[in-house]
Amino acid sequence: MNSFYELNEQQKRQLIDAEMLFSALEQAEAEAIRHRGSMFWREQDGGRYLISLSAHSRQRSHGPASPENELKYERFTTRKTEVEARLKTLRGKAEEYRRMNKALRVGRTPDILIEVLNAMMRYGVSEHFLVVGTHALFAYETAAGVRLPSDVMATQDADLLFDTARKAAFMEVMKDRKMSFLGILKKVDKTFERDELDNSTARNASGYEIDLIRRFPPDPEDTSEHPLQLTPEEGDLWPVRASMGQKLLSVPRFDQVVVGVNGAMARMRTVHPLDFARIKRQLSKDINREPLKKAKDLAQADMVETLVREYLPHLAKDMANDSAGSEATIGKA
């Protein structure tokens, strides 16, 4: 029988309130991004022209002064002021919630992962990656308001699955930012470096690893590697193909606000817990899988299926609506 440690009522209330606050902060951050840059009037050729300046110093003329442009300028500046004020207030509240989260021991997601997820959000690349592997368990246990046994959670690396189908959109963002993915990691911790023997892995001075993986192509006969660097920047990471990559990308998504040991919050994007369990069970039967990993895969599959059945039954119902065979999977736990 799998055992879980439930958060107490005070911790659960704090977690609910913290999630609501973080969601509001996310919306404010997104609105602030839309209002980055500025608008101003420029005297030119005897006329007065409305100019917008992007966050990356790109200028655009909206034409000469007119009632329409006067209104556009007023609306932009007024809204920008409102958004900045709301964002400042919410950031202050988020710091209060962080301290309370820490005091009540609401979360235990590694702080470094929280920082990486937030950095990916700030730089606009979160939607191109999924957290897969053991670290996804932090999302599931947080959603259920419990703690999974520590032995199934132990790991010093985070697996990020890159969606190669959206590589063009990702590259556009990175080109606009003039950054590499490793550069984003270095914004979090300057000691992150690409592994000399494995260019799909970045490791910091504490030994924490970010491993990048990607899918095999839909054609099962195509097993060649086809090297792929995330960005053209020298020293950036090269995601390696994973046997379950395509399956992980094809299943429903699961988003959850997770909380770090220090109380900070981030949104984790991963896969539906029942799909996680199904894929882990398949891995546990893979003859090429290392024995120790197979045992852990099976334990995690059992644990997550039980977690859904006992604490998140609505997720099993949602899955059943999408696939008639899903309830059979959870019934095996």
User: Domain end: 74, 106, 138, which one?
Assistant: 106
Q: What is the pLDDT, as a whole number, of residue 319?
A: 66
> Is 253 inside any structural domain?
yes
> Is 5 inside any structural domain?
yes
- Please state, in angstroms and rounded to a whole number, the distance separating the CA atoms of residues 230 and 246: 18
21 plus 96 within the same structural domain: yes
User: Domain end: 72, 106, 140, which one?
Assistant: 106
> Mean of the pLDDT values across residues 240-254?
90
Percent of the chain with pLDDT over 70: 91
Q: What is the pLDDT, as a whole number, of residue 264?
A: 97
Q: What is the pLDDT, as a whole number, of residue 317?
A: 78
101 plus 249 within the same structural domain: no
72 plus 126 within the same structural domain: no
> Is 38 inside any structural domain?
yes
Domain coverage including residue 94 = 1-106
Looking at residue 86, its amino acid is R
Strands in the chain per DSSP E: 5-6, 38-44, 47-53, 59-64, 129-132, 146-147, 157-162, 193-194, 201-203, 209-214, 240-241, 253-259, 265-271
322: Cβ contacts below 8 Å, ≥ 6 apart: 252
Among 271, 120, 296, 295, residue whose Cα is nearest residue 202: 120
Identify the weakest region by mean pLDDT among 88-97, 217-226, 291-300, 312-321: 217-226
Q: What is the pLDDT, as a whole number, of residue 193?
A: 96
Categorize the per-residue pLDDT at 56 as very low, low, confident or very high, splitting at 50, 70 and 90.
low
Q: Does 329 have pLDDT greater than 50?
A: no
Categorize the per-residue pLDDT at 326 as very low, low, confident or very high, splitting at 50, 70 and 90.
very low
Q: 3-class DSSP state for residue 268?
A: strand
> Is 285 inside any structural domain?
no
114 plus 25 within the same structural domain: no
Among 224, 230, 234, 190, residue whose Cα is nearest residue 212: 230
Over residues 15-46, the pLDDT tens digits come to 999 999 999 999 998 888 887 788 899 998 88
82 plus 153 within the same structural domain: no
> Mean of the pLDDT values across residues 248-259?
94
> Mean of the pLDDT values across residues 294-298?
92
